[in-house]
């Protein structure tokens, strides 16, 4: 248990620290276009700047978001990139809303017990190297998004990132730290070492320039030939050959068979707003709605602070117990849609006492006689424009530098999203999450995610786009931002600055940010919570429409960490 902690506390706290420009003032992470008609927030000033430049060249929020995503793959490759997957929630200017599922798929040769050795799941296999890799979905999802509502071409939104990869960018102390922490694993893969380590195999140092010529060439080939280059062309073939020689299961055919799925968003109501969340294979939309539904059964405005935090923690615990039991890829397993139903929340609320923690919580039975089958190290980008395009993209290669594998000649860091499956009942993944059959490995199945891109509407009009990075804390961060901004009417930047908590049922611990006042911490302990203090938790990005203006907000904790390190 101790090692899991150490590992995922590391992931959540420093997993998304990123490379920054010399001038990393908060204004560079979240920017409004010069005409005030569009806004972008990301965890990286290079990515935000390129997105804003794309708008200046006639692009809309959709073009900007895609340009930011490709740029993050250059400057923030330990968190996201085209070797990973993503979920996109988009509201187009014409009012249509789409949930684009670009999550990785397991290869056709994957099998339920592929990570079990001598009767025990081996985390090394699911996290590092060839077997950890799922078929990446981001390129196909961004292409779909571009076609749905972009004003520019794929080529025009990819080229700026390709140019930056070619020219190079300055490695920040924060990125240097991530490289150094992962160096031993990066060394195992020569093409990864060639990017992130110097010629003596030492981690590249802060303030040196990192050029990625292979990545630039891959981006340009995708820009010119479209996603076919990635899924049917050279990229797929090179990857297939490398996998065959290195014990992997992924074939070039798996790439050709990759499919973006259009999903039906989870729609819920909270505090007079309508929320659109991401459905399975994300657990995000379901549990954000569930937790808020539970909270609103109580008199939220008149609870003492400690009582309120206690209630949030209890609601999270019930939700994560359901997650571990019920949630998985809805193409493979029946996920009860009623988890997000208000009537189910009422049954849970009855079990919650405001005085004491509820002992021995297990998954509930959400089948309450309503239609119940849902058929058919990470980054969040928020972009919006005054034409009415709103984009929330959460994208990831999973843990730092994903599988650590870069296929020679491509420059692309490949994900280790296979670790998000439940390798074995009871075996924890890198975030300490356990799962059931619902999230067991199967050929072409998608691993369960916590990513929670969310769009918020008032009277049918979009007013907020938000999301976060940080494994399961993504769900908790999004819940808390929504609670404070929608129920308590805080400006979103203030909502994001509130001390955060996280409870994921297993382990049964209440993670609390150090900024939480000591008297509240004590009151929570008295109610039966075992507290774990984290210095800081999470990386959210949001855009809010306020008084007719777009207000982009990047995670204050990440900006602060980067400024301290630079």
Contact in structure between 106 and 281 (CB atoms under 8 Å): no
Q: Which of 378, 487, 536, 561 binds ligand DON (CB under 6 A)?
A: 378
Query: Could you give the CA distance from residue 431 to residue 396 in angstroms, rounded to a whole number?
Result: 14
Q: Among residues 106, 315, 469, 478, which is the contact residue for ligand DON, using CB under 6 A?
A: 469
Which tokens is 494 given? 């203030």
Give the Cα separation of 235 and 138 in Å (integer): 14
Interactions with ligand DON, residue window 123-152 (CB under 6 A): none
Minimum Å distance from CB 377 to ligand DON? 4
Told to judge if 378 belongs to the known catalytic residues of this protein, a careful annotator would answer yes
> According to the binding rule CB under 6 A, does residue 504 interact with ligand DON?
no
How many Cβ atoms from other residues are within 10 Å of residue 517's Cβ?
A: 11
- Contact between 467 and ligand DON per CB under 6 A: no
- Report, in Å, the least distance between residue 85 CB and ligand DON: 8
Residue 179 Cβ, how far from ligand DON at the closest point, in Å? 16
511 binds ligand DON (CB under 6 A): no
Which alpha helices (H) appear in 257-331, and where do they start and end?
A: 284-295, 305-326
Of 364, 324, 314, 360, nearest to 510 by C-alpha is: 314
| DSSP track, 253-269 | HHHHT---EEEPPEEEE
Return the residues of window 446-465 that contact ligand DON according to CB under 6 A.
Answer: 449-451
**Contact (Cβ atoms closer than 8 angstroms) between residue 29 and residue 51:** no
Containing H/E element for 552?
Answer: strand 549-553
What would the two tokens of residue 61 be? 């929020």
When the beta carbons of 223 and 340 are compared against ligand DON, the nearer one is 340
**15 sits near ligand DON (criterion: CB under 6 A):** yes
User: Residues in contact with ligand DON, total (CB under 6 A)?
Assistant: 17
Nearest distance from C-beta of residue 281 to ligand DON, angstroms: 9
> Half-sphere exposure of 454 toward its Cβ, with a 13 Å CA cutoff?
37
| Cβ proximity of 412 and 431 under 8 Å | no
DSSP per-residue string spanning 378-433: -EEEEEEETTS-EEEEEEE-SSTTTTS-B-TTT-PBPP-GGGGSBSSTT---TTS-
| 421 interacts with ligand DON by CB under 6 A | no
Tokens encoding 390: 């709103």
List the interface residues with ligand DON, window 180-219 (CB under 6 A). Answer: none
CB nearer to ligand DON: give 150 or 471.
Answer: 471
Asked whether position 555 contacts ligand DON by CB under 6 A, the answer is no
475 is an interface residue for ligand DON by CB under 6 A: no
11 is a contact residue toward ligand DON (CB under 6 A): yes
According to CB under 6 A, which one of 16, 189, 273, 318 is a site residue for ligand DON?
16
Cβ closest to ligand DON, residue 11 vs residue 266:
11
**In the complex, least distance from residue 522 CB atom to ligand DON, rounded to whole angstroms:** 29
Query: What's the half-sphere exposure (Cβ side, CA atoms, 13 Å) at 43?
Result: 39
Q: Choose one: 10-18, 150-158, 265-273, 515-523; the region binding ligand DON (CB under 6 A).
A: 10-18
The strand pair at 379-385 and 38-41 is best described as antiparallel
**Which of 11-19, 225-233, 455-463, 497-505 is the region at the interface with ligand DON (rule: CB under 6 A)?**
11-19
Residue of 359, 362, 355, 361 whose CA lies nearest to 524: 355
* Contact pattern from residue 315 through residue 354 relative to ligand DON, giving x for each residue in contact according to CB under 6 A and a dash for the rest: ----------------------------------------
Of 71, 218, 378, 399, the catalytic one is 378
Tell me: does residue 429 bind ligand DON (CB under 6 A): no
Ranges within 381-420 binding ligand DON (CB under 6 A): 396, 398, 417, 420
**Binding segment toward ligand DON, per CB under 6 A, in 12-20, 147-155, 487-495, 522-530:** 12-20
Binding residue (CB under 6 A) for ligand DON from 308, 377, 445, 446: 377
> In the bound complex, what is the minimum distance in angstroms from residue 174's beta carbon to ligand DON?
14
**Buried b vs exposed e over 281-312: b needs ≥16 C-beta within 10 Å?**
bbbbbbbbbbbbbbbbbbebeebeebbbbbbb
Spatial distance between the Cα atoms of 39 and 165, rounded to a whole number of angstroms = 24
Q: Catalytic amino acids?
A: 378
Binding site for ligand DON (CB under 6 A): 11-12, 15-16, 377-378, 396, 398, 417, 420, 449-451, 469-471, 474
């Amino acid at each position: 248990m101790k090692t899991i902690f150490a590992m995922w506390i590391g992931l959540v706290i420093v997993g998304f620290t990123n490379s920054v420009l010399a001038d990393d003032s908060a204004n560079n992470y979240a920017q409004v276009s010069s005409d005030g008609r569009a806004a972008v927030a990301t965890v990286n000033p290079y990515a935000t700047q390129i997105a804003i430049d794309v708008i200046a060249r006639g692009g809309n929020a959709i073009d900007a978001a895609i340009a930011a995503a490709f740029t993050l793959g250059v400057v923030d490759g330990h968190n996201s990139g085209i070797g990973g997957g993503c979920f996109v929630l988009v509201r187009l200017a014409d009012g249509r809303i789409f949930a684009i599922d670009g999550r990785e798929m397991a290869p056709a040769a994957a099998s339920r017990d592929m990570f079990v050795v001598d009767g025990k799941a081996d985390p090394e296999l699911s996290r590092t190297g060839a077997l950890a890799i799922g078929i990446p979905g981001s390129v196909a999802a961004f292409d779909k998004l571009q076609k749905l509502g972009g004003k520019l071409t794929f080529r025009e939104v990819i080229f700026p990132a390709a140019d930056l990869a070619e020219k190079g960018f300055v490695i920040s102390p924060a990125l240097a730290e991530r490289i150094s922490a992962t160096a031993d694993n990066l060394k195992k893969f020569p093409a990864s070492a060639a990017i992130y380590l110097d010629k003596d195999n030492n981690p590249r140092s802060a303030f040196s320039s990192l050029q990625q010529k292979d990545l630039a060439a891959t981006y340009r080939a995708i820009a010119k030939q479209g996603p076919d280059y990635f899924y049917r062309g050279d990229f797929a073939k090179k990857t297939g050959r490398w996998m065959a020689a290195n014990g992997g299961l992924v074939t070039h055919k798996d790439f050709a068979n990759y499919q973006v799925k259009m999903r039906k968003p989870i729609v819920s109501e909270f505090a007079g707003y309508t929320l659109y969340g991401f459905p399975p294979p994300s657990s995000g939309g379901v549990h954000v709605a569930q937790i808020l539904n539970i909270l609103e059964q109580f008199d939220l405005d008149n609870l003492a602070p400690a009582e309120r935090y206690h209630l949030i923690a209890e609601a999270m615990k019930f939700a994560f117990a359901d997650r571990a039991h019920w949630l998985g890829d809805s193409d493979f397993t029946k996920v009860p849609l009623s988890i997000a139903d208000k009537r189910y929340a009422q049954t849970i609320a009855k079990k919650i006492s405001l005085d004491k923690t509820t002992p021995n919580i297990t998954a509930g039975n959400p089948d309450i006689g309503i239609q119940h089958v849902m058929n058919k190290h990470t980054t969040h980008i928020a972009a919006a424009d005054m034409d009415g395009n709103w984009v929330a993209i959460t994208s990831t290669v999973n843990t730092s530098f994903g599988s650590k594998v870069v296929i020679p000649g491509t420059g692309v860091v490949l994900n280790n999203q296979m670790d998000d499956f439940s390798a074995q009942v009871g075996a924890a993944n890198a975030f300490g999450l356990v799962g059931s059959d619902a999230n067991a490995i199967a050929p072409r199945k998608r691993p369960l995610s916590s990513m929670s891109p969310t769009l918020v509407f008032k009277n049918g009009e979009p007013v907020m786009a938000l999301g976060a990075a940080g494994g399961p804390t993504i769900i908790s961060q999004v819940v808390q931002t929504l609670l404070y901004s929608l129920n308590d009417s805080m400006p979103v930047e203030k909502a994001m600055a509130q001390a955060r908590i996280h409870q994921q049922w297993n382990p049964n611990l209440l993670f609390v940010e150090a900024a939480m006042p000591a008297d509240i911490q004590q009151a929570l302990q008295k109610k039966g919570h075992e507290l774990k203090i984290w210095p800081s938790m999470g990386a959210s990005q949001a855009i809010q429409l306020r008084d007719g203006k777009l207000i982009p907000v990047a995670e204050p904790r990440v900006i602060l960490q980067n400024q301290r390190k630079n």
